[in-house]
Structure 1
């Protein structure tokens, strides 16, 4: 950990706003969100020293725009000692990267039709969105359909073309 940034807010909305701005502003990772009590919420981020400083300043500024009473404090610790890492271990925070990994796996499933060998079944194609079907058509080398014609085709027509190209194989 090169730097640790902390923002403490009154209320969850301000904490979410600060987290959103921090993650969009700089290359930092969200480490934890902790409900301190009495409506206080602390959000922690880690990353390069400059990135964390930038993110915390931007997050604090965004919270101040919500109102005067939402920002309680902000702080950046450059190069914190490694012994404070156990203080940041939050089981909820560890779920964040797992969710991102799951999103990536969903994207890779969408790309699967491009790599799939010949032989689609109608029941595989029906639930797909028309954009996905167009991508499949573009990967078929034995189909000579222009982009303009492809945009004009209905979902049924596109499925028929894909199935016919599989038969011709």
Structure 2
């Protein structure tokens, strides 16, 4: 789910995680044209769970701010993961490691409680869907 602003992203992620059994695996913040902050939240889980979570996240985020886009990739090819990792390495950071801190800050800004939990276990590839 891609939103404009951290508060909108926090609302999207909060609703998504509450709606279905999914895990947040990344938060990417980009300052774009006209200094607009775009935030992309990536989640994983069963395909149906990710779809339900994205639907709930988009609905909640739309009530708070602007949703730029959302998409579910069911069972992504391994090259998709490689592309994402290459992008992270080029930027010299790992959103997976930074996600909880960024989300805590975003939740504090929005007045939401952060309920994100990260897990070292990655869902199996055939049950995994990546939201990017």
Distance 2:99 2:7 in 1: 19
Structure 1 counterpart of 2:4: 10
Which residue of structure 1 aligns with residue 28 of structure 2? Answer: 34
For normalisation by structure 2, the TM-score amounts to 0.62
Query: Residue 41 of structure 1: CA displacement?
Result: 0.6
For residues 79-135 of structure 1, give each alpha carbon's deviation from its aligned partner in whole angstroms, at most 9, with x where no partner exists. Answer: 1001222315663413668x958xxxxxxxxxxxxxxxxxxxxxxxxxxxxxxxxxx
- Higher deviation after alignment, 85-94 or 50-59: 85-94
Structure 2, unmatched stretches of 5+, are 101-115, 119-132
The corresponding residue for 2:52 is: 54
How far residue 57 of structure 1 moved from its aligned partner, in angstroms, is 0.3
2:76 alignment partner, SS class: coil
Residues 73-92 of structure 1: matches in 2 within 5 Å? 73-86=69-82, 87-88=84-85, 91-92=94-95
Deviations 1:21-62 (A, max 9, x none): 111110111010001222111000011000000000000000
Counterparts of 2:64 and 2:117 in 1: how far apart (Å)? 28
TM-score (norm 1): 0.49
Aligned counterparts of 2:99 and 2:41: Cα–Cα separation in 1: 14
What is the alpha-carbon distance in structure 1 between the residues aligned to residue 29 and residue 42 of structure 2?
Answer: 12
| Greater per-residue strand proportion | 2
In structure 1, runs of 5+ residues without a counterpart are 1-6, 102-169
Larger RCO (CA within 8 A; separation ≥ 6): 2
Q: Which runs of at least 4 in structure 1 moved beyond 4 Å after TM superposition? A: none
Instruction: Give the 3-state SS of the residue equivalent to 2:63 in structure 1.
Output: helix
Structure showing greater radius of gyration is 1
Answer yes or no: is 1:24 the counterpart of 2:27. Answer: no
Counterparts of residues 130-145 of structure 1 (less than 5 Å): none
Change (3 A) 1:20 1:100: closer
State how far apart, in whole Å, the 2-side matches of 1:94 and 1:8 are: 19
